[in-house]
Amino acid sequence: MVQFEELYEQLSDKEKALFSESVNRLLARTFLVFEREADRRCYRFVERNLTLFRRYLDLARWDLFLDQQLAVLQLYNREDRNRRSFNLQETIFLFILRLLYDDRRRELRLTEQVYVTGREIQEKYLALGIKQRLPAREEMHRILRLFSNFALLDLKKGHWRDPEALYLLYPSLLLVLNLADLESLARWLGEQAIGAEEDESADEGELDLDEEEAGL
Q: Which of 109, 129, 125, 128 has its CA nearest to residue 117?
A: 125
Query: Is residue 52 within 8 Å of 7, Cβ to Cβ?
Result: yes
Compute the Cα dihedral for 5, 10, 14, 18 and give only its sign.
negative
The HSE-up count of residue 38 (CA atoms within 13 Å, CB side) is: 15
Counting as low any pLDDT under 70, the low residues of the chain are: 131-133, 179, 192-216
pLDDT attached to residue 2: 81
The confidence score (pLDDT) of residue 202 equals 38
Taking the C-alpha atoms of residue 4 and residue 90, their distance in angstroms, rounded to an integer, is: 38
- What pLDDT is attached to residue 74? 97
pLDDT at 206: 37
- Give me the sign of the Cα torsion angle 134, 138, 102, 192: negative
- Which among 113, 108, 140 is positioned nearest to 124, based on CA atoms? 140
**Separation of alpha carbons 129 and 155, rounded Å:** 26
The whole-model pTM stands at 0.82
Q: For residue range 54-102, what is the model confidence (pLDDT) as tens digits?
A: 999 999 999 999 999 999 999 999 887 777 788 888 988 999 999 999 9
**Amino acid 134: pLDDT:** 75
Number of Cβ atoms within 10 Å of the Cβ of 82 = 11
In this predicted structure, what is the pLDDT of residue 150? 95
